[in-house]
Chain A
Amino acid sequence: KAGVTQTPRYLIKTRGQQVTLSCSPISGHRSVSWYQQTPGQGLQFLFEYFSETQRNKGNFPGRFSGRQFSNSRSEMNVSTLELGDSALYLCASSLDVGVGTDTQYFGPGTRLTVL
């Protein structure tokens, strides 16, 4: 079974631009979560989507948004990019159909560099 895939793997943008990252979960997985990882802050939770609805949200500004499609694929968008948004953005998916099925599996990440 294919793992979580993320595109693109690397991205370079300039301040003020916006960016859209894509995540395809493991087949059959219904929950998709997004995380930001930086050397200074570590791995931080952004938001989680389940059945096309945002179910959980971390402490990030409104510039960070996401959505999930009916096939469970998800996108996250960052508008008005700032230098501090440079990070590894990770997507994780889980089956989430009951007890013992919420183990999250991560994709390889998208490395975003903001100049």
Chain B
Amino acid sequence: LAKTTQPISMDSYEGQEVNITCSHNNIATNDYITWYQQFPSQGPRFIIQGYKTKVTNEVASLFIPADRKSSTLSLPRVSLSDTAVYYCLVGPNFGNEKLTFGTGTRLTIIP
């Protein structure tokens, strides 16, 4: 599984757009990029997943450059409830590959 690197922590003010970048230099051809959000004492919640270019859903956007060696999770107009740990994972989206979670990015939203 490809190793990922993301900032340990980030702070942002309410109402701003937050971008969290993840590096995955050794991503493989059949790897997908998945982001999870986790609040304390809760299970990780799936946010978004993509393979290339841009993916958008009701909560976030995921930008993936052509070389796929990095990806950026974009959270529009964050609120206090977006304070959480965000994990970037890279791996094939089929079969029996287990998920490997890194340390994640602890995002703190400031009022």
Contacts and interface: CB of A to CB of B under 8 A. Distances in A.
Interface of A: 4, 31, 33, 35, 42-43, 45, 48, 50, 55-56, 58, 88, 90-92, 96, 98-109, 111
A102 B43 contact: no
Given A103-B49, A105-B46, A88 B41 contact: yes
Contacts of B42: 108-109
B95 interface: yes
Contacts of A111: 41
Nearest to A106: B43
B99 to A, nearest CB: 6
Interface size bracket, B side = 20 to 34
A90 B98 CA distance: 13
B98 A56 contact: yes
Interface in B44-100: 44-46, 49, 87, 92-100
A21 B95 CA distance: 25
B57 to A, nearest CB: 13
Contacts of A58: 98
